[in-house]
A = this chain, B = another copy of it.
Amino acid sequence: MDKIQEQEYLAFAREIMRRAGAIANRYFRRPIPIDSKAAGAGFDPVTAADREIEAFLRGEIAAKYPDHAILGEEQAERAGSSGWRWVIDPIDGTRAFISGSPLWGILLGLMQGDNCMLGLMYQPYLQETFYGSSAGAFLEKGQEIRPLATRATRDLDTATLYCTHPSMFADEQEYRRFMNVADRCRLMRYGGDCYAYCLLAGGYIDLVIEHVGGPYDIVPLIPIIEAAGGLVTDWQGNAAIAGGKILAAANQVVHEQALSILNA
């Protein structure tokens, strides 16, 4: 897309994210009814905050760009005719959100066909916005905006790996493949959801390896990581836009090392 259009979409996205964050902050660390989307005995929480934020973002996008498609976690997809598609995760990290932990975020991405053109992660309690586009990746906090760059770690034995939770993995074999990489890293930590991908974009960690639910969990993060110098693929090294098994890496070297161990 041309630069002027990109800047218009990004400015619009930042403005509606700011207002979505105000909704989230009204609910965060306050008593809130929690429903579970999981069948049977599982627990897949969703709250009024998730639903209200997604409805707000959908309404704003549909009013401003009526021919754009919208894909969100909590509602059915809205079709479009323009080739543009917005991707929303109203609260990525609902389990952290309902635990009072600030490591969750509101995600908003924009695709043109299969390309992730721009993406934002807003953490309204910390007042941090991580965002990326062809113009670069940035962290805005208060009045300060600074560029993001991944780090140049050259070997897994000095690398830090994050993953939200071991229960993400589909089965024991998938978990073992993850642990084979973890065992080679200097440090592995659980927790983080979208925040871990932003730590990677910021140059603080080197790898995120997960199995996520859908496009909304990863599409908005891809432009942030790529514009900061990192890579996001599936466990085969292919495009990650469908979600599923994700390998995000600070650079090509650690990406190749991790990919090789995942598939050894």
Contact = CB atoms under 8 A, between A and B. Distances in A.
A205 B100 CA distance: 8
A136 to B, nearest CB: 18
Contacts of A166: 166
Copies of this chain: 2
A33 to B, nearest CB: 12
A43 interface: yes
Given A43-B186, A191-B191, A101 B103 contact: yes
A220 interface: no
Given A100-B202, A103-B103, A199-B100, A190 B187 contact: no
A203 B102 CA distance: 15
A95 interface: yes
A138 interface: no
Interface residues of A, number: 28
Contacts of A115: none
A100 B203 CA distance: 9
Interface in A176-208: 186-187, 189-192, 195, 199, 202-205
A166 B43 CA distance: 21
Contacts of A192: 101, 191
A154 interface: no
A25 interface: no
A199 B99 contact: yes
A43 B189 CA distance: 13
Contacts of A99: 160, 162, 187, 189, 199, 204-205
Interface string A89-117: 00000011011111100000000000000
Given A101-B191, A102-B126, 16 more contacts: A43-B186, A43-B187, A45-B187, A95-B189, A98-B204, A99-B189, A99-B205, A100-B202, A100-B205, A101-B103, A101-B189, A101-B204, A165-B189, A166-B166, A190-B190, A191-B191
18 contacts: A29-B204, A43-B186, A95-B187, A96-B189, A98-B160, A99-B160, A99-B204, A99-B205, A100-B203, A100-B204, A101-B192, A101-B195, A165-B189, A165-B190, A189-B190, A190-B190, A190-B191, A191-B192
Interface of A: 29, 43, 45, 95-96, 98-103, 126, 160, 162, 165-166, 186-187, 189-192, 195, 199, 202-205
